[in-house]
Structure 1
Amino acid sequence: MKNKFLTLLILLTICISIVGCNKSENNKKITQNNPKNTKETAHTHFKFEEYGLEYDLPKTWIKYKDKKQLDIDIYDNTESKEYLIAQIKYGFLSAKDINKLMKLGKNAKTQEAQMKFLLEYENSIKKICSIVVFDKNKENINQREELFSKYDNHEQLKTNENLEYYILYNKKYDLSGLSENDKKEYKEICESINDLKKSIKISKPITQKEKFDKYKTVSFKTKTTDGKEIDSSIFKNYKLTMINMWETSCGPCIKELPDIQKLYDEVKKENINIIGIVMDLYIDKDSENLKLAKKILNENGVKYTNIIPNKELIDGLLKDIIGAPTTIFVDNKGNIVGQTIVGSRSKENYLEEINKILKNLK
């Protein structure tokens, strides 16, 4: 799973198919649900409970984050059985590169232009550091050496049960292609890595299952994206309901919508329902995201019901979601049943889980 929540608004101009999801069992792509699941406070404090990591951005970094010059790239692999659990990469973008990328992004209408934009974006980033988390029980020397080769300094942080934590950075930074002012800004960021290291806290990881175990049922009274009143009593009309929680800024979420619609067309004949919860909408606000959500649903041919979360959902179930998309299942009484699925899946994967649940419901 790779989550890239870029600080640049130009990400919105990228075609969703370019940042589509890998639907293999061991490499699912998700988007961090910020701020709800990382508990990002004022965009300066990050907490990743799924791998027991917490830290504050250095004060000198915050102004560059606000200016969109701090790039954050998160690779999350907590559900696989691989050595690398997570990698959080920080990079720097000069003001000149941001302006150039903004123009490229706005004009990226074709797939070729979008690929050019992404390549240009990656090439423009100057490395700051990486925080990596390994599962020491699945040690892979080659993978570790490949990661370490990109940085000349590798400091191990506190270990936690079977996990190892490292911070990787360069003592000598690549200043090529930067103006004198850019060099000064880049140096200022790189020289503040010690402040980042001091703030890092390691704790016991909490899985999505552990976070969801306290929820036995799903309840809501809200509106659909079409403005119709809806509440959780609809569950009683179906023997099983699949609930797919997604965000308008999440490429993998949007990528799987057509597959979920095909699944809905197939299972509704068996009295099985599917609803979506658009996590970045709010029932008490006239959000521009609602227009975007409706546009996304329309463009992907989605006919099944999608709802706007009310306060009960936001303060409850959605607060404890690790990443988007996340999918759960409820029976006709609203009880959560089966496995919680984090990350995108194919129609066949979802159908397999549905059939498994139906056997247990009999």
Structure 2
Amino acid sequence: MKFRTQKIAALMTVAVLGISTLGSMPVMAEENTETADDGEAMADDGEAMAVDGDAMAVDGEAISSDLISGTFKPSEVTCQAQDSYEYPFLGLKFSLPKELLKQIEDQSIAMITTEDETNQTGAVTYAYVSWGEMTEEQKNAEVDKMGTGYEEWVASLSRIGTLGIYDEDSQKKLDEITGCTEHKELGSSSDGKYKYYLSTNKEADEKLTKELEEIKTTITEMTPYQNTSVFDQPQDASVNSDDVTSVGKFETTGIDGKTYTEEVFSDYDLTLVNIFTTWCSPCVQEIPELQKLYEEMKEKGVGVAGVVLDAADENGNPDEDTVKKAGILQEKTKAEYPFLIPDSTMLNGRLKGINAFPETFFVDKNGNIVGDTYTGSHSLDEWKEIVEKELKNVSK
């Protein structure tokens, strides 16, 4: 059984992000089928890629090889104690008893999220939060940043119990999925497709299982799944980016630390705006191609700008670790065009609701969004053909 959120947690630690499964970035990425002219690895299966000898993507997570060597403490990427937990995609809210929270805080108990990574249905199959006893040795243990060390560490914890949601097929395998033997049904989803269970391990300390039984749960309406981790928070889809006709006025910072405004588009008749994330391997693979495009077409009045969507939240607050990661990416790919951090307006709303990467659109010198939108990565020749078409339309 694979643990999608655990793998992400480990990779995020590698990238010095230090987040749990509460991130809010979508994970659909358009696959690239092209191969770079300069011989760099362009794996389209998301397994690995090299840029100047550095591994830049593993399981879709774009990272630099200098960040994946060495070890880390799994105990540092477990869920943190907080007043309450809410997972809209699961239709689940809950709060923990004080004693359990205290044990999570002092790291005698590890709280971990798990979901079905093998799911190909585009919907929730099963997902649960688990609690396990953590010894002092496990608390201080370090494992390799890459490999199966993290999953083995999770398996070594003494399982106390789980709280989760399961579809019809998963309900038939609760013992196997949860690692528990006792299951208390808490309710069903409004459409009847899912059931919620609090499961406990009869071999666990009875005092600890009783603490789990004191968890206060509330079943809510499930938010429609958005092809991301089920433990993520839903994205704001109130703005239809297709209806936005201008990037508007904005002021933001680039990965290079410089300040950029809408004037960044005024130097060119047409600017290709490439929206990407640092963890998206097709996005990373495309950057050298976009750099070549920029080199070849800037004299024709064509500029390129990248927008690092995961470098800031939807309020425009930068994530310093992701900014650092993007800086390494820009350096390794030798990209000379600006990498912009999203501003608080999300470019007048144009960056909202995007759930597939990379996505590219065009802006004229006046800040107007023009031409078509393109999803997925493309080769240099493909981009040149697209840009020539869009440039003719702007010139009319």
TM-score, reference length from structure 1 = 0.59
Paired position in structure 1 for 2:138: 100
Paired position in structure 1 for 2:85: 44
Supply the AA of the counterpart residue of 2:363.
Answer: D
SS in 2 for 1:263: helix
SS in 2 for 1:233: helix
8 Å CA contact 1:222, 1:229 repeated in 2: yes
* Cα separation, partners in 2 of 1:93 and 1:356, compared to 1, 3 Å: farther
User: Counterparts of 1:146 and 1:340 in 2: how far apart (Å)?
Assistant: 42
8 Å CA contact 1:129, 1:167 repeated in 2: no
* Cα separation, partners in 2 of 1:90 and 1:297, compared to 1, 3 Å: farther
Matched, 1:267 2:297: no
* Structure 1 position 273, deviation (Å): 2.0
Matched, 1:311 2:344: yes
SS in 2 for 1:275: strand
SS in 1 for 2:274: strand
* Structure 1 position 46, deviation (Å): 3.1
User: Counterparts of 2:324 and 2:175 in 1: how far apart (Å)?
Assistant: 44
Of 215, 218, 224, which aligns to 2:254? 224
Supply the AA of the counterpart residue of 2:262.
Answer: S
Supply the AA of the counterpart residue of 1:200.
Answer: T
8 Å CA contact 1:47, 1:54 repeated in 2: yes
User: Counterparts of 1:3 and 1:290 in 2: how far apart (Å)?
Assistant: 24
8 Å CA contact 1:330, 1:336 repeated in 2: yes
User: Counterparts of 2:176 and 2:371 in 1: how far apart (Å)?
Assistant: 45
How many residues align structurally? 307
Paired position in structure 2 for 1:188: 211
Of 114, 123, 130, which aligns to 2:155? 123
Identity %: 12
Which structure's residues are more often helix, by fraction? 1
User: Counterparts of 1:326 and 1:170 in 2: how far apart (Å)?
Assistant: 39
* Cα separation, partners in 2 of 1:8 and 1:145, compared to 1, 3 Å: same
Paired position in structure 2 for 1:243: 274
SS in 1 for 2:155: helix
* Structure 1 position 259, deviation (Å): 0.3
* Structure 1 position 322, deviation (Å): 6.9
* Structure 1 position 93, deviation (Å): 3.9
Supply the AA of the counterpart residue of 1:91.
Answer: S
8 Å CA contact 2:371, 2:390 repeated in 1: no
Matched, 1:277 2:304: no
User: Counterparts of 1:46 and 1:7 in 2: how far apart (Å)?
Assistant: 17
For residues 6-155 of structure 1, the aligned pairs below 5 Å read 11-13=12-14, 44-48=85-89, 53-60=90-97, 69-74=110-115, 82=121, 84-85=123-124, 87-96=126-135, 100=138, 103-105=141-143, 108=144, 114-124=146-156, 126=159, 128-132=162-166, 150=177
Matched, 1:298 2:331: yes
TM-score, reference length from structure 2 = 0.55
The RMSD of aligned alpha carbons is 5.3
SS in 2 for 1:264: helix
User: Counterparts of 1:360 and 1:145 in 2: how far apart (Å)?
Assistant: 58
SS in 2 for 1:202: coil
8 Å CA contact 2:247, 2:347 repeated in 1: no
Paired position in structure 2 for 1:34: none
- Gaps of at least 5 residues in structure 2 are 18-26, 33-44, 47-58, 62-81, 228-234
* Structure 1 position 158, deviation (Å): 1.0
SS in 2 for 1:45: strand
